[in-house]
Amino acid sequence: MSFVLPNLPYAFDALEPHVDARTMEIHHGKHHAAYVNNLNAAVQGTDLEGKSLEDLFAGVSKLSPAVRNNGGGHWNHSMFWEIMSPNGGGMPSGDLAAAIDRDFGSLDNLKQQFNAAAATRFGSGWAWLSVGGDGKLFVSSTPNQDNPLMDVAEKQGRPIMGLDVWEHAYYLHYQNRRPDYVAAWWNVINWDAVAQRMK
List contacts with Mn ion (CB under 5 A): 164, 166, 169
- Looking at the Cβ atoms of 13 and 167, the one nearer to Mn ion is 167
Q: Rounded to 5 degrees, what angle do the CA atoms 12, 142, 78 make?
A: 30
In the bound state with Mn ion, the residue whose beta carbon lies nearer, of 166 and 174, is 166
CB 170 within 8 A of CB 18: no
* For Mn ion, the closer CB: 33 or 152: 33
What minimum distance in Å lies between the beta carbon of 89 and Mn ion? 21
Which of residues 23 and 92 has its CB atom nearest to Mn ion in the complex?
A: 23
Q: Which residues pair with 164 in a beta bridge?
A: 126
Q: Give the Å distances, CA to CA, from 96 to 4, 37, 145, 163.
A: 30, 35, 26, 18
User: Contacts by 178-183 with C-beta closer than 8 Å and gap 24+?
Assistant: 178/118, 178/119, 179/115, 179/119, 182/115, 182/118, 182/119, 182/127, 183/115
Min dist CB 29 to Mn ion, Å, is 12
Least spacing, CB of residue 196 vs Mn ion, in Å: 22
How near is the Cβ of 3 to Mn ion at its closest, in Å? 16
| Closest to Mn ion by CB, 31 or 158 | 31
Cis peptide before 17 (omega within 30 of 0): yes
| Contact between residue 194 and residue 129 where contact means Cβ atoms under 8 Å apart | yes
Q: For residue 141, what are the β-bridge partners?
A: 127
Residue nearest to Mn ion (CB): 164
* Minimum distance from residue 101 beta carbon to Mn ion (Å): 30
